[in-house]
Structure 1
Amino acid sequence: MNQLSPAKRILLVFNSATGQPGRVGDVMRRYGYTFDIRRPGEGDVLPHDLDGYHLVVVFGGPMSANEDDLGNVSAIMDWLPKVVASDVMYLGICLGAQMMARHLGASVAPHPDGLTEIGYYRVQATEAGRDLFPDNMMVYHWHSEGFGLPDGAELMATGPTFPHQAYHIDGRIWGIQFHPEVDDESHERWLSGAGDKTDRPNGQGPEEQRAGRAKYDADFGAWFERFAAKVLVSDRAPMRAGCGD
């Protein structure tokens, strides 16, 4: 779906001091990629020249994409034009998808009825997304805002509460509302650090989330493996676990 850059580096941009690449990192390491990790909220500078990267991944965070008074939000929003103007692939996860949508002119806003998605919820493929998304898939969410669809974007997955769940532009810029990076360690860390926020409207409590993880995570992880192979790494063959750094 994309022409693979010869670069083997991936730029990972985190909106929190403690964010980790989790499953996304595990999968991409097996394809031999190395990581350059930046945390603009902690003072890291985002690179002006993206020629040396195959992929940029901007992860989620507890803030809103509209909070320009926050250092990480303003730094990333000011930097996204460089990403769009480059040839690098982009994957925005939750807040990262919302930031890119906002940069491209779409709105980012709470649900009109105040609903959230915190836990495991069903998404469905659109007609355009059937090659990449199952007809029904349970995915892990943690968000109270959603993104509009930017001009020129193709909607790939939808859901009953937040209708815009995944989009792409020209097969190069991707945004997904859910969190494929969340593994067992990060899930427990999120519940430990913010479990008191799960009682928001339509949210799932910690025990319901753990039950959902036991039931749905294997299929969700297998989906991301397929998505990475088809979209993020194209024809690069996976390496054995432990190879790459």
Structure 2
Amino acid sequence: MNELSPAKRILLVFNSATGQPGRVGDVMRRYGFGFDIRRPGEGDVLPDDLGIYHLVVVFGGPMSANEDDLCNVRAIMNWLPKVVASDAMYLGICLGAQMMARHLGAPVEPHPEGMTEIGYYPVYPTEAGRDLFPDEMMVYHWHSEGFGVPDGAELLATGPTFPHQAYHIDSRIWGIQFHPEVDDEAHERWLSNAGDKTDRPNGQGSDEQRAGRAIYDAAFGAWFERFAQKVLVRNPVSARSESSD
């Protein structure tokens, strides 16, 4: 990492011991980025100096964003003010999006009828999200809680079960409820480690998920490639410097 300029460094924060960057990593590597990986639940310290990063990505995990008794949740929630105060971009994926929403004052709550999204479900753009999302897209989920939209944020995508699927604040803070990082290896690992959870209300079983993956994953992956190119690859620090001259 030391040979990379800040414009090419990404901080990846995982909420599990086994999480991997998957497709997110594959896409960003193709654009020349390198990674600094931290797992606060395993004792890794989150950096105070975020000026050396272009982007911070906080991934999902099996816990709730409200579980402050867990060391990873507590560490990330205490650290997010530094992210917001920095110039680094932020992408929260599932739990990472919920944590940022909670930090910004929005609730993170279960579905009022106990529903989950575990498998492939559709999302739709809001008017504000039409440049980033197609009219309908099947995406991979694994969650039982959803985020509210923080004050000052713009809702970009919605869904029939959890109406808040993606938000952003200006061009720097982004949150998505679904999992573009999940590649074939991660998908099988999740099904192996937590397949017993797929029978929750509205959840899809392993065979249904695999069938969905065969149908929907290529388009989902192509969407993330476009999203990364349009949103994540640019350098907001340079853009700010240029606009202030």
TM class, shorter-length? over 0.9
Which residue is 1:90 aligned to?
A: 90
Distance in 1, Cα, partners of 2:135 & 2:112: 26
**Preserved CA contact (<8 Å) 2:195 2:205:** yes
For 1:139-197, what per-residue CA distance to the aligned partner results, in whole angstroms no more than 9, with x for missing partners? 00000000000000000000010000000001100000000000000000000000000
Which residue is 1:125 aligned to?
A: 125
Which residue is 1:200 aligned to?
A: 200
Which residue is 2:114 aligned to?
A: 114
Q: What is the identity, as a one-letter code, of the residue corresponding to 2:102?
A: R
Q: What is the identity, as a one-letter code, of the residue corresponding to 1:7?
A: A
Distance in 2, Cα, partners of 1:7 & 1:210: 37
Which residue is 1:26 aligned to?
A: 26
Instruction: Give 1:180-195 correspondences, 5 Å limit.
Output: 180-195=180-195
Which residue is 1:219 aligned to?
A: 219
* Ranges in structure 1 where 5+ consecutive residues have no aligned partner: 236-245
| SS of residue matched to 1:7 | helix
Which residue is 2:17 aligned to?
A: 17
RMSD of aligned residue pairs (Cα, Å):
0.9
Deviation at 1:234, TM superposition (A): 2.6
| SS of residue matched to 2:219 | helix
Deviation at 1:132, TM superposition (A): 0.4
**Normalized against structure 1, the TM-score is what?**
0.93
Deviation at 1:208, TM superposition (A): 0.1
Distance in 2, Cα, partners of 1:232 & 1:179: 16
1:165 counterpart = 2:160 = no
Distance in 1, Cα, partners of 2:120 & 2:107: 24
Which residue is 1:46 aligned to?
A: 46
For 1:4-62, what per-residue CA distance to the aligned partner results, in whole angstroms no more than 9, with x for missing partners? x9521100000000000000000000000000000000000000000000000000000
Counting matched residue pairs gives 231
**Normalized against structure 2, the TM-score is what?**
0.93
**Preserved CA contact (<8 Å) 2:154 2:167:** yes
Distance in 2, Cα, partners of 1:27 & 1:233: 10
Distance in 2, Cα, partners of 1:216 & 1:168: 25
Distance in 2, Cα, partners of 1:196 & 1:55: 34
Distance in 1, Cα, partners of 2:7 & 2:139: 30
Distance in 1, Cα, partners of 2:118 & 2:182: 13
Which residue is 1:149 aligned to?
A: 149
* Ranges in structure 2 where 5+ consecutive residues have no aligned partner: 236-245
Distance in 1, Cα, partners of 2:112 & 2:135: 26
Larger helix share, 1 or 2: 2
Q: What is the identity, as a one-letter code, of the residue corresponding to 1:28?
A: M
Which residue is 1:65 aligned to?
A: 65
Distance in 2, Cα, partners of 1:61 & 1:130: 29
Relative contact order (alpha carbons < 8 A, sep ≥ 6): 1 or 2 greater?
A: 1
Report runs of 4+ in structure 1 exceeding 2 Å deviation.
none
Which residue is 1:140 aligned to?
A: 140
